[in-house]
Every structure is written in C-alpha cells, then in structure tokens.
C-alpha cells in the first residue's frame, strides 16, 4: 500500500475521495473532503491510502499547536471498508506523527463498538500502545433502527420519550422541510436563543447564521441531508433539526427549539 499526506487536495484527489466516501455504508460528514474547506474553514492535513491506485482508506487530520507542543486529531475516522486497511493506515499515521515529533495523536473511530472494533484496537495496540478515553463526544443519546416499523420504534423508546411524543401529537404541531435561506436564518436565531438560555458558550447570532447557512448549502448541493422544521398552525417556526446523511445512516447534526415553548416537546416532534 502507498500512504500519502498532503495539505491541499487536487481536483483528481477530491473526485477519487468523494467516490470512495459515497461508496461507504457509514461516512461521517466531518470526513467529507470538502467539509473543512467550505463549511468549517480550517487548515487541515489529509491522509490517503492507495492500493493499486485505488483509495482504500482516507482521513482528515486536524493538527494543533500550543507553544512548542504539537497534537493531531482524527474526528470520526479514518474511513475504510477493509479493517486491515484501517489497521495498517493507523500505524502509518502514528509513525508519521512520531517522526514529526507530535506529542500525541487522538483517534475517534467512526463506528459503533463491536467485535470488529475490538479486533482493530487489539491489532493497532500491538504496534502502537495507546490509552482509551471516554467522554461526551463518544456516544449518541439514542440510535433508532429505521428498518423497523413505526410501532416497533415507538415501543422501543423510553417511556418518557413516548409520553413526549403523545404530548407533541396533541399540540397539533406541523412539520415541513426548510425551503429557503430565510428558513435557515430563523432556525439559527432560535438556536442562538437556546444556547444563551442554557448558558452554553454561545457564539454571536451572525456566526451561527453563517454556519447554519453553509451547512444547508453544502448538504443541499451534495445531497447529504435536509432540515426539518416544526411550526405552529400559523406557520411560525418554533424549532427544527439539521439532518446529515452518512451512507446508510442519518445523523441529527444540530437542532434547536424556541425557549418560550419549553413545555412543548418540539424536538420530539422533529425526531
């Protein structure tokens, strides 16, 4: 296999990587070759593994520097089909950053823990000792199997979620897809109010509006998602969720609800 690291992708690189990305059952949006170029502008490094000129493993590498100390991170990656390609690629990435005298490399794999994940971790550990850490970025609050019928899905939810869904149905809320930039601006304003109300480290309304707009334009252009809005009878937007398509999975990426309607389960309606 051939391993390549580069700061700038050529048009051919992007075409090959996009083809590989689109062939995968699970491909997190942060690993799309154009995500950090158009949606979250950031200076990143790219890793590509080739076998017989075909891309078999790929990752976006985020590099950070604090004073003289250098760090590298992989968020939801690398992408692969064959676990052996991932194992050899992770070893190659580790060796690359050791030579560049980076202090550590953090890898957040893009898969649910299972026997294959255990095998990957065991093989990589033989070549490069590492420490497992667990934090709020390593879990989903709920995973829904969309192959099941709606009655089964509802039955498998926690009782409090089922109660909220019934309450939402009685509230006579409406659902529609976002259709314009104005819709996205309204959702961004709601999200900003929610952040401020919950005392999160909120960004300015201009920053959130710009970010949400870039996400919407990207997922619309690339056919990688859609935005669901929750409205009242008069059509006023009360909340919504940005959904990104990641292979055969859909992920709720961002969402917000009108803080004045906190007693109405707006997010349950959207989900």
DSSP letter for 201, please: -
Euclidean distance between CA atoms 264 and 271, whole angstroms: 14
Contact 36, 44 (CB under 8 A): yes
Write out the chain's pLDDT in tens, 271 residues: 999 999 999 999 999 999 999 999 999 999 999 999 999 999 899 999 999 999 999 999 999 999 999 999 999 999 999 999 999 999 999 999 999 999 999 998 887 778 888 888 888 888 887 887 766 666 667 889 999 998 999 898 888 888 888 888 888 889 999 999 999 999 999 999 887 776 666 678 899 999 999 999 999 999 999 999 999 888 999 999 999 999 999 999 999 988 776 677 888 888 8
pTM, rounded to two decimals: 0.89
CB burial class (10 A; 0-12, 13-18, 19+) of residue 139? exposed
- Predicted pLDDT of residue 124: 87
**Both tokens assigned to 216:** 């919407």
Structure tokens at 240: 């919504």
Rounded to the nearest 10 degrees, how much is the dihedral formed by the CA atoms of 245, 109, 54, 88? -170
């Amino acid at each position: 296999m051939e391993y390549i690291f580069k700061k700038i992708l050529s048009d051919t690189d992007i075409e090959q990587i996009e083809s590989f990305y689109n062939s995968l059952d699970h491909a997190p949006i942060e690993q799309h070759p154009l995500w950090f170029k158009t949606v979250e502008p950031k200076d990143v490094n790219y890793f590509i593994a080739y076998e017989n000129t075909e891309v078999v493993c790929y990752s976006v590498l985020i590099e950070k520097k604090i004073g003289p100390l250098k760090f590298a991170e992989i968020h939801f990656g690398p992408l692969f089909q064959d676990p052996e390609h991932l194992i050899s690629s992770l070893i190659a990435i580790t060796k690359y950053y050791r030579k560049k005298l980076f202090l550590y490399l953090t890898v957040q794999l893009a898969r649910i823990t299972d026997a294959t994940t255990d095998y990957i971790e065991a093989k990589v550990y033989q070549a490069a000792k590492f420490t497992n850490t667990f934090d709020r970025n390593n879990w989903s609050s709920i995973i829904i199997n969309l192959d099941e019928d709606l009655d089964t899905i509802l039955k498998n939810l926690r009782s409090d979620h089922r109660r909220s869904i019934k309450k939402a149905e009685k509230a006579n809320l409406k659902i529609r897809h976002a259709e314009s930039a104005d819709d996205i601006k309204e959702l961004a304003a709601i999200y900003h109010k929610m952040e401020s109300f919950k005392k999160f480290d909120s960004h300015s309304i201009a920053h959130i509006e710009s970010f949400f707009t870039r996400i919407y334009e990207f997922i619309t252009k690339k056919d990688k998602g859609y935005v669901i809005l929750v409205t009242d009878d008069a059509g006023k937007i009360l909340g919504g969720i940005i959904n990104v398509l990641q292979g055969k999975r859909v992920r709720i990426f961002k969402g917000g609800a009108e803080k004045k309607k906190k007693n109405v389960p707006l997010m349950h309606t959207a989900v």
